[in-house]
Chains A and B, each alone.
Chain A
Amino acid sequence: MRFEKRMHYLEDVQLFRYRSDMAWYILLLLLLLAAPAAMGTYWVSLLIQIGIYIIVALGLNLLSGYTGQVSLGHAAFFAVGAYTSAILTGKYSIPFLLALPASGVAGAAAGLVVGLPALRLKGLYLAIATMGFGFIVEEIIVQWESVTNSVNGLMVTRPVIGPISFQSDKSYYYLVLAVVLIMVLAIKNILRTPTGRAFIAIRDSEIAAESMGVSLTVYKTAAFAISAFYAGVAGSLFAHFMFFIGPENFTIMESISFLVMILVGGLGSVHGAVFGAVFITFLPEAISLSRGYLPAVIGEQAGLQSAVYGLVLLLFIRFEPLGLYGRWLKVKFYFENFPFYKKDTFRRVRKFHRTVKQ
């Protein structure tokens, strides 16, 4: 049990509410800094992948989880970032430190292109429109051979910043970690200021948001732009991590796995984005491991991965709509309040007194 006592007005929006929280996060950071020394390259490369996915998930969560706009086209923004970075550093020899933010800006520009016409669309219609955008970008990559080298793809090198080379996975890991930390901090700041509150307000009630002076046009497109900026930055890190990018990296399947990531992790929470990224990185590994043990009819099916994604989505939406983060909160609550835990603590109270909407 803890007692709340506030000494100044910003206390509710401190990054770490309690000193013990801060201690845990410092410990986590130390572990992350030490990780490459203790791990093999396979694990380090998985951690890099998680980091890249965390950035995508943070952005997508801002758009879908906080602002309530579903996107099934995030692989497109990811692609725009990846190709921008590959072309800027490869063809034009522009330093990575400039190409990285430029990839984010290019992603954001693409986000505006989708966000503005999508203003009037909601729910399923928005999902379909963004999915359409994803197909268009995929097609552009294939057709625009002079720039993208079509299906043959582009070679990308690992970045060098000043005297430091990030050639090895272990060194590249630290670069990704630094970018992830900056992106997490930025999202946290957005969420504790008027910008983030306006996003959440739009999700909960557009009418009320407008009557608070929130411009739907401005904030809905801003959510798209910021979200796509995140995807663009992640795309850049992805390109330099993979050494090679081609259209097959940015298909609808990739967009779907991004969405699975935030749904499974937990919509509308920063922790959820992290949990989701971990989950989506290990799921394909687990699936390919399990192929060996499954009967051949199932194990050798090409669509096994999509089927598992679908099943996972169904199970989470049915049994744990708050995602892994919601489950984690419940477990934590159980231990903090042991033995006073009541099973119904998290059950939503049903209310019947709302008048009928006119």
Chain B
Amino acid sequence: MSDNGFFRAAGISIQFGGIKALENVSLDVKQGEVHAIIGPNGAGKTTLLNCISRQYKADSGQVFFQGKNILKLKPHQVVSRGIARTFQNIELFKNMTVMDNMLLGRHSQRATGIFSDILFYGKARQQESDFRLKVEEVIDFLDLQAYRNRIINDVPYGVQKNVELGRALVMEPRLLLLDEPSSGLNMEETQDLAFWIEDIRDDLGITIILVEHDMRLVMDSCDRVTALDYGGVLAVGEPKEVVKNPDVVKAYLGE
């Protein structure tokens, strides 16, 4: 486990029209940590995640993941490097079942082509069985058994959030990007989430970058924090230091 150069974003800038959504933002994440990104609404947190997962094309900057620059890849190629993500406004396949949604998490691991799929024999059959085994593991991990064959449109919001997390876990990523996973969850669901985040880090060995508003979750579950405001970095450090930083306090409370 070398901590050097696991994930490093440097000098990321992106503009929308006249708005500088991010300006020269850097982010260092060590392997095995839970790294929170905090900041008021519109600070550029989601935009930063989108630049990493290549939904947005940064105007300048570099993103290194395990020593390789990933800022030139297509979104679907970022996935095969081992980076999974969830979205602030759930992006599930709404007309599919929970099971099928999570099976898509396995897509980047597929070893069959279209032709062997058409025959559905031998390798394709075995692969389908293996995929389902993996999904069942995650379903057990996140307590989703009751919803296995329900259509996403028909399950509650909190469950949808879990399914999206589960779908990302099914990918067996090395780095997981979560955009406000606790928003819209009730107290109990948020507590479950806190446990899962620790399990994901400790038991599954997945590094997490987490955009989060709930400060309790940040204080309890995160190893380090980067605070953003107006597209720039205000502070980086351990949670209890960052929340005391005068710039951060000012950004949250106003003058």
Contacts and interface: CB of A to CB of B under 8 A. Distances in A.
Contacts of B171: 212-213
A192 B128 CA distance: 8
A13 B117 CA distance: 13
A7 B77 CA distance: 36
B94 A204 contact: yes
A342 interface: no
B153 A349 contact: yes
Q: Which of B93, B100, B108, B119 has the most chain A CB within a 10 Å cutoff? A: B93
Contacts of B88: 355, 358
B239 interface: no
B240 interface: no
Interface stretch (B129-137, B204-212, B213-221): B129-137
Interface string B106-119: 11101010100111
B14 interface: no
Interface in B73-100: 74-77, 79-80, 84-85, 87-96, 99-100
Given A201-B93, A204-B95, A349-B153, A194 B132 contact: no
A208 interface: yes
A10 B89 contact: no
Contacts of B104: 197-198, 201, 209, 212, 214
Given A8-B129, A12-B99, A189-B120, A194 B94 contact: no
A212 B107 contact: yes
A194 B76 contact: no
Interface string A2-45: 00100011101100000000000000000000000000000000
Contact of B167 (A4, A203, A212): A212
A205 B157 CA distance: 18
B241 to A, nearest CB: 30
B94 A198 contact: no
A304 B255 CA distance: 73
Contacts of A197: 96, 100, 103-104, 107
A14 to B, nearest CB: 11
Nearest to A11: B132
Contacts, number: 132
A186 B129 contact: no
Interface residues of A, number: 41
Nearest to B124: A193
B68 interface: no
B55 interface: yes
A318 interface: no
B92 A194 contact: no
B107 A213 contact: yes
Interface residues of B, number: 53
Given A194-B106, A201-B104, A213-B76, A10 B132 contact: yes
Given A204-B96, A358-B46, A211 B117 contact: no
Nearest to A226: B114
A228 to B, nearest CB: 14
B13 to A, nearest CB: 20
Contacts of A222: 114
B41 to A, nearest CB: 10
A208 B55 CA distance: 10
A9 B129 contact: yes
Contacts of A12: 99, 132, 149
A248 interface: no
Given A189-B117, A197-B104, A204-B95, A9 B89 contact: no
B125 interface: yes
A357 B55 CA distance: 15
Nearest to A210: B75
Interface of B: 46, 53, 55, 74-77, 79-80, 84-85, 87-96, 99-100, 103-108, 110, 112, 114, 117-120, 124-125, 127-129, 131-133, 136, 149, 153-154, 157, 167, 171, 183-184
Given A211-B75, A215-B74, A357-B89, 6 more contacts: A189-B120, A211-B55, A212-B76, A212-B107, A213-B77, A351-B153
Q: Which 10 A-B pairs have the closest CB atoms?
A: A213-B108, A213-B79, A204-B93, A193-B117, A189-B120, A9-B132, A208-B91, A210-B75, A195-B117, A194-B110
